[in-house]
A and B are shown apart, each in its own frame.
Chain A
Amino acid sequence: MSSITGDDVTIGHDEAHAHDDHDHKPEGFLARWVFTTNHKDIGTLYLVFALLMFFIGGSMAMVIRAELFMPGLQLVEPDFFNQMTTMHALIMVFGAVMPAWVGFANWMIPLMVGAPDMALPRMNNWSFWILPFAFTMLLSTLFMDSGGPAAGWTLYPPLSLQTGDSFAFVVFAVHMMGISSIMGAINIIATIMNMRAPGMTLLRMPLFVWTWLITAYLLIAVMPVLAGAVTMLLTDHFFGTSFFNAAGGGDPVMFQHIFWFFGHPEVYIMILPAFGVVSEILPTFSRKPLFGYAAMVYATASIAFLSFIVWAHHMFTVGMPLEGELFFMYATMLIAVPTGVKVFNWVSTMWKGSMTFETPMLFSIGFVVLFTIGGLSGLMLAISASDLQYHDTYFVVAHFHYVLVPGAVFTLMAGAYYWLPKWSGNMYSERWGKIHFWLSTISVNVLFFPQHYLGLAGMPRRIPDYAPQFADFNMWSSLGGFAFGLSQLIFVGVVIHCVFFSKQKATAQVWEGAKGLEWTVPSPAPHHTFTTPPKVTAGMVAHADDH
């Protein structure tokens, strides 16, 4: 193994002092964490940042659920309520889920393709360090005189243009997040395209690498579109243009088209890496190769393509021509086909395996079940005529939370438990991991399933108060919400225990059924890995080579 732990590293380092330091970690906090160009340390930074944002965005959700606990306004003014829903979504999407996936990409992609680091390490540092500034700025708007943004994360004008001067800071923060994401995406593409070890052909790459590669292209395609949209809002607000102002010859609906041209691929940006993680974990704990590897790659690519031509399914009530509505309905229904292929392949991967149910496996199974429920309600929403009833109700809130929370967030948890031993060198507490899983799974359903009933029964979304007939299910939902929020603290405990206190050392392989290059390096993964590229042969990856 000495060839891959890399004892004589030369990349980007001052060699004078580092020679006998086995790990070659820079000394001192600043050098190690602020000026770092190491993919593992940057990955850790991203993950810690994302977890912090998850709790900040989560507290806002707690405020929302507390106000909705019963009818009447008890806690906050409606305008502040709207700031909470808007900020909650912006923080969760751009601050928690997306950076968490970039963190996983940083840590795992070089390890999975046998590369010594990311292709562009300095840019990597920059793309991370933009984020704390972007989110500090975004959060600071809550303390400004004119308050934070309150028009929903979709920022529809003309309403968003009624935001006060803080709007400029919101737009600038979105620009910074966009720059960070684009740089991250370029780095990932460059790494995957150029730095794969010999023998790691494209169709041998682990699915997580594939899904991230496709995600990175989506990011590059749509983040500039979002940047353009918010820039037009900025000039409409402050410089007297009328892009979206009907009175000045503009078109407020145009904004929605542009936003959702970004927004629909964006939802796949959050979920494709999740598909990848699950496609790694299920084979490991089923001790059986991934079923239909090639089909999985092609399904991911078709989902990515289709995601560009379905955006107006978010706009069925906006008053489009009939032909347009039909087109977007058919295209949206079509997405269910490759999505179905994925679900069937995951089930077939488990079929006739030899399964064990460690925490990563539990979260992955939870994902397959609950994401499928979210996908099925998505199929319902695609039926445009009945969407005229569903749209902008709690039914939609339930749908997208099923795909995002037990969808994206559960796989983030699954991935974290799966690779934590590799990152830290220690095993986490399986017992507490399982407690975390069961509490999360029960509470997330109590939280979101009743929202389907509320929406169907006629409760609109984004309201701070409601008619008493909606009281029972809102109370359930809030109780589920508080329980889910508290359960996530267990995760923090498990991670801290694992990293700093756990006595149980992890082996290189960690999991009996694990395959892939990341399991060939020691645990914890040394600061530098694969400085001499490994030779990849068939059978080393988590899927059969015979597609």
Chain B
Amino acid sequence: MTLLTVSSTNHSFTNISKISTKTLVQMNDVWASYDSKNYVLREITLSIDNGVNYAIVGQSGSGKSTLLKLMNGMMKPSKGQVKINYQTPDTHDKKFKPLMAKIGYIPQSLGLIKNLTVIDNVLIGALPRIGKLKSFFKMFPENEIKEAEKILKLVGLEDKFERKAYMLSGGEKRRVAIARALIQKPELLLADEIVSELDHVTAREIMNLVADAQRTFNLTAVMVHHNMQLALEYANRVAVIKEGQKILEIGVEGDRIVDFQTGNMTQKEIIELYNQ
């Protein structure tokens, strides 16, 4: 945690791109509400370093998806600050568009276009790089098509390029959504429970895929999980959200817990979570 504060204090004096290799996501006392009455997130403070796999764990309705929507600017905080690469995320803000193209967001519902083919779904991730006229006539440059095919091979869908998205299995759909995010050449990947409904083998396959992509593209990943076990296995950091508050954040290195901050959580509750 100390490392993060250092990097964010001196950013105004140094080259931004150099600093952006340190902290990518910063949240400061963030409160969020859908109806401006009840807060679904309260006092969220966190920062996520570049290249890290950051897991968010918590019960249903605790506010995990909302946290991701704050990070990509689909939602604005009622109070507090959210910064992605020192910019305030807001999908309605034109100034934020270049950065939106660099954030791969996989919603809980995946957001695939069911009547489009697998490859067209993936190419959607490349649209910000393609002119309006060309994209209107679906004239994708050869290199983008090659890239889409390469990424689809990477996620193990080489034989399903032309399959319509609605004809895919749950695991295959998740791979398409990951491929769509990867073709963005993202700096930040926000993935909302993309392995929760899968069997253990497929879930691990997909988590390994993300881990590989992280290494290859120096990608920062924020992943929401239902399963604490999976989070501990793959993440460098795990934040536990309960009823809209971050009650625990731990650092993981291999099978060791290296850093640990308990808010208002009892020892017993932590153990219960670990046994999940």
The finding on whether chains A and B are genuine partners in a shared complex, rather than unrelated, reads no
- Residue positions of A touching B, CB distance < 8 A: none
Binding site for A on B (CB under 8 A): none
